Every structure is written in structure tokens, then in C-alpha cells.
Amino acid sequence: MIITIDGPAGSGKSSVAELLSKKLNYIHFNSGSLYRASTAFLIENDFDIRNMSTYSKIPHLCFTVNYENGIQKVYINGKDYTNQLRDNAISILAPKVSSNKNIRKVIDDFQKIFTRKHNCVIDGRDIGSFVFPDADIKFYLDCDIDERARRRLNEEKMKNPNITFADIKQQILQRDEFDKNKKIAPLIIPKDAIIINSTDLTIEQVVDKMLLYINAVN
Ligand code: DC
């Protein structure tokens, strides 16, 4: 069984997917972490990320995902990149990496193989639209831009006390623009997706709504 959750940056996809997967006893597969780990790998190996979308030859990327104490760990070619995934520099550069079609292909193939063996809740930007258009249930999580910026500010300010609401809002707007206008796999509402707006809802309330749909289908 595959349940997909797509939506823009800061809409709460990951937190919702995490809680939903716990309630269903499914695996939470965070697809963005593969793009983030690839970004960390490419930085470490001195690739010019800003021109990434035009690279036709990409390095060998052998992904391993496993779960240690419930935490998704991402390895590339045997090295663990989990601790770097949420760094702000990675957040800024990951969209460039995600616009490379060869990297997308490697990640898409990996996701398809991984999910054959597990019941999964997968969150991302193209999961219900391009990677798993035939998923059992597809959700699209939306949220007002100011609320998304507030949520991200709360996460970021521990790591970066000087960051402002305006900075974060600007970064999110740029990412929305980029994700929605990408040539390959842009962020769209997948066909047949159930749209939930999380602006005034807690994570628990969003998950309760999702469970109502899931139980109605099963
Ligand atoms: O959701 P996130 O912020 O962790 O995603 C990191 C980057 O990867 C972001 O630029 C969007 C991209 N991404 C994607 O293109 N397709 C996905 N399924 C997930 C993420």
C-alpha cells in the first residue's frame, strides 16, 4: 500500500507523514531527503551545484535507506548523510540538484524498488503526480505562505538566531516559484488527490482528516 503526500515547502508534509505512518504502522519515506543527501554528496565532491540542471553525466549514486530508532537514515555509496540533511545551505541548493533529470531518474528508480517491499507513506513534490500516479491514496497538503514561513522560522531559529521571518518567507516564495515552474516533475496537484489545507490545523487534525479518507477507502 502506498499513500502519497505532496505539497509546497513548509506545508507540514513531513510531520504529517511521520505521524500518519506511525498510526498506520507504515514506513515513512521522506523523498526530499534523497535530494538533500545528493546535494550534500555533490557539495562534498566539488560539483558545481549552480549549474547542476545541465549536467548530463552524474556520479554513481548508490542509495541506502534504513530506519534506526524510527529515524530514516540516508546513505550514498555507503556514507551516512543524515546529519546534514536539514542544513540551510542544503535547503537552498537542493532545488538545483532536483532539476537534474538523471538524478531524478536514479531517485525515482530507488523509490520504486524500495516501496515494493514496504507499506509506505511517502511525502514529496512529485510523488503522487509523477513517481506513483497509481498510488492507493494521494493527498495534497496546502498551507498559507505566512503560516508556512512561521513554521519554518520556528524550526530554523534554534540553528540560526539571526534569521528573520522576511528572510524565510522570501526563501519559501523562491522555492515555490522554482518547484512549480521546473521543467521536469514540477509541483502540481496530482490527479485524484485529496486536497487538505493545513493553515488552521494542527498536525494531529490533519492526520485525523487523512485517516477518515483512508478508512473510507479500505
Ligand atoms: O521537501 P524537501 O524540502 O526536503 O525537498 C528538498 C528538495 O528536493 C526540494 O528542492 C524539492 C526537491 N524534491 C523533489 O523535487 N521531489 C521530491 N519528491 C521531493 C523533493
| 216 CA → ligand 1 middle, Å | 30
Ligand 1 atom 20: the closest Cα is on which residue? Answer: 32
- Around Cβ 215, how many Cβ atoms within 10 Å? 8
Q: Point out which residues pair with 194 in neighbouring strands.
A: 139
Q: How many CA atoms lie within 13 A of 116 on its CB side?
A: 5
Q: Which CATH class is domain 1-26+119-202?
A: alpha beta
Separation CA 66–CA 86 (nearest Å): 18
Which tens digit of pLDDT belongs to each residue from 172-192? 999 899 889 988 889 999 999
Instruction: List the grid coordinates of 30.
Output: 521522506
Strand partners, 28: 121
CATH code of domain 32-117: 3.40.50.300
Give the pLDDT band (50/70/90) at residue 91: confident
Cell of 138: 494521494
Quote the CA–CA distance of 2 and 6 in Å, as a whole number.
13
1-26+119-202 shares its CATH topology with 32-117: yes
Highest mean predicted confidence (pLDDT) among 2-6, 11-15, 89-93, 160-164: 2-6
Q: Whose CA is nearest to atom 11 of ligand 1?
A: 95
Output the pTM of the full model.
0.92
Domain spans in the chain, listed from the N-terminal domain onward: 1-26+119-202, 32-117
> What is the reported pLDDT for 126?
92
Report pLDDT digits (tens) over 42-75.
999 999 888 887 777 889 999 999 999 889 999 9
